[in-house]
Structure 1
């Protein structure tokens, strides 16, 4: 190569850190998004949701059939008809307070009928047996069932005999929308749901950063990148690339979840035990709360991802990566519990600790958004969280250069020793003596 060509190459402007981070982010985003592993990663969480929804639907159906209350009618055919008509008359106004009656054919056929023996044989799904006449009904069953249904049965029997009016007066009512105590209690539910969603998404998606770095360390690609681009720009680019991939995954899961909710809403409600349509509005309003939720998810992801990158910088093998990531996962679980335990206790020392500590700050602040309408605290918290991300990325890049890149350059030919002081790699190609 001529001196002119070499000087032209040396004179080329180097990429700034922002440009270098953008190049790495674009490269990783495209590489991960169009890989087969990412497709299986998207499909993976859908199977537990599908199985859970089907199990919830089947469980609800079985539970409904198991707990349906039926009282057997063991009166004469005429009396049974009178009791059924009276129950139908009362059911529109009393609803579930009116039991479901079912005729017992053996009793209507005439002859002796032993209600106690019939119940002991456990034939049918009867909670109790009603014998006698509407003028003198007799309820046969366990003590709990008798105490539960004595009043409704007596009311139905009185209606059947005409001893009470069959049409009840209508009443008017005034409903209070909410009270201060109930509104705060309901907003705590919203805060808890937001924290849970934020934690699950972060823990599910942040592992991609660590696996991506471990793979590129094994292939020596990361060392090539580090030789050409500032290491902190490489780490930052990888973080935002995985964040972009995470948003793609959330969009796919959200679309599938919305369709699944439309098809099997009852099953989802059975599994979660929470009707998300009835979640009360947060203090800052739903549009601002959703925007803050997206931002706080991004910050939680970047903080945990930066910590994982730091772990990847300290680890030399995939086994070390897995071993060292476990304490961080447990730490994240503990800070989540810290934030969840202090919901509604704004201003207390523990709550302020969860706000200040970077890893728990997104969870604590998203709970504050549900409970308080003050916005300036969120601006301060986001600035602090962004600063913590920069510090973690900078620290991880320094550790990476010290632990991984130390084998390059003049130190490449030196022997590296393990913890026991023995040589871990011999230089088989020793330089000849002068």
Structure 2
């Protein structure tokens, strides 16, 4: 029986390598510290952000601009003075009802910090401002209007709300925010986790283990096995960090507010995000594995880490720039360019409900993973292992010279 015939099939051999690497990494002490690092960093960042937001909120709370007629404004201000020590009320400022003080102009005046503008009459008050702000102040305005109108004897009036933004603009803005957040999260996870692939083969090359593996199984299987092992380790890390994040979000849900809805809906968007993370990791990981396999020492791998980071930043900036104009030339290029394709398609999932493009994009990305792995394995076999056609020719030449 020949050596090739006794070898394991490609995918069975890749599974053996994946199991071996996955167990070795998962149960190591280094992986535990790797898991704890981002948790500590996120905790510090969250605490700093909360303290900063609290400081900004306490330093400059928004005010309610009262723009009624003279008698109505005076009564409203008097009612506010009577009740402000008993219940929590927004700060108010009386504004003359003149032509230059339109609600839109007051809300756009950055020097006055108005959150909403009260117009109309005490019997029919109208509140103009952002949807969140006027909804939160609706009850207070109704109470003060009732107190100002008849000393609290009459029922509170119905407050007419006038949102300053259209629903279409809100939808587009929220979808863009979701796309930006998804691209940023995908970039951070990929940058944090894909760097481990760079040094994956260095130790085995130094210990001559890779030569034993190359003699037993195809080199393509070694690359596939190591890639999928690192991907599985990445999913373990994401599961740990995601569980901690879910607990934090559940405890402070009221502080975070509602999440902007993506175009395809949250369940499908979450599934697509996980799939595109896997494809982004396999694409960039196959490139990194090839580059790292050519490095003779760990020091050389450290030198290569900076160009690898620049490559990931370039992909992130390309996807972020193209996201703002779907269907444009840069956006189509970002979709077709293999390494940036997962980022661009995540943004599309947040901004467009069309699904058939994702099927084509995933097929395109899988094709390029196979191309990158095949190219990397061939280069490693010929340049490092000195086997294959080029290596065989060099070996023959060396044999002739010796003779």
TM-score computed with the length of structure 2 as normaliser: 0.72
Change in Cα spacing, 1:27 to 1:414, as seen in structure 2 (3 Å) is farther
2-structure distance, mates of 1:284, 1:351: 19
Matched residue, 1:33: 26
Matched residue, 1:87: 81
CA positional deviation for 1:171? 2.3
CA positional deviation for 1:89? 2.7
Matched residue, 2:358: 378
Change in Cα spacing, 1:94 to 1:46, as seen in structure 2 (3 Å) is closer
SS at match of 2:200: helix
- Is the CA contact (8 Å cut-off) linking 1:231 and 1:397 kept in structure 2? yes
2-structure distance, mates of 1:57, 1:95: 23
Unaligned ranges ≥5, structure 1: 1-6, 70-82, 100-143, 270-274, 416-432
Within the candidate set 12, 28, 33, 1:19 is matched to: 12
SS at match of 1:283: coil
The reply on whether 1:244 has 2:224 as its aligned counterpart is: no
CA positional deviation for 1:291? 0.8
1-structure distance, mates of 2:88, 2:209: 72
SS at match of 1:333: helix
Matched residue, 1:196: 184
Unaligned ranges ≥5, structure 2: 63-76, 94-110, 123-143
Within the candidate set 48, 69, 86, 1:55 is matched to: 48
Deviation digits for residues 145-192 of structure 1, max 9, x if unmatched? Answer: 9x99xx9xxx9xxx9xx9975459512436889622321121111111
CA positional deviation for 1:202? 0.5
Aligned pairs, number: 335
2-structure distance, mates of 1:187, 1:209: 33
2-structure distance, mates of 1:207, 1:414: 38
- Is the CA contact (8 Å cut-off) linking 2:227 and 2:282 kept in structure 1? yes
Task: Give the alignment's Cα RMSD to 1 decimal.
Answer: 3.8
Within the candidate set 245, 259, 265, 1:279 is matched to: 259
1-structure distance, mates of 2:392, 2:330: 49
SS at match of 2:160: coil
Within the candidate set 209, 213, 237, 1:221 is matched to: 209
CA positional deviation for 1:94? 9.2
CA positional deviation for 1:58? 3.9
Matched residue, 1:96: 90
Change in Cα spacing, 1:175 to 1:17, as seen in structure 2 (3 Å) is farther
CA positional deviation for 1:322? 2.4
CA positional deviation for 1:281? 1.4
- Is the CA contact (8 Å cut-off) linking 1:53 and 1:264 kept in structure 2? no
Within the candidate set 378, 388, 403, 2:383 is matched to: 403
Within the candidate set 158, 174, 181, 1:171 is matched to: 158
CA positional deviation for 1:352? 0.5
| More moved, 395-404 vs 174-183 | 174-183
2-structure distance, mates of 1:182, 1:359: 31
Change in Cα spacing, 1:174 to 1:19, as seen in structure 2 (3 Å) is same
CA positional deviation for 1:91? 8.1
Larger radius of gyration: 1
- Is the CA contact (8 Å cut-off) linking 2:13 and 2:225 kept in structure 1? yes
- Is the CA contact (8 Å cut-off) linking 1:89 and 1:166 kept in structure 2? no
Matched residue, 1:129: none
CA positional deviation for 1:223? 2.4
- Is the CA contact (8 Å cut-off) linking 1:91 and 1:98 kept in structure 2? no
Change in Cα spacing, 1:89 to 1:181, as seen in structure 2 (3 Å) is same
Deviation digits for residues 20-57 of structure 1, max 9, x if unmatched? Answer: 11111111111111111111110111111122233334
Matched residue, 1:357: 337
1:328-339 to structure 2, matched below 5 A, reads: 328-339=308-319
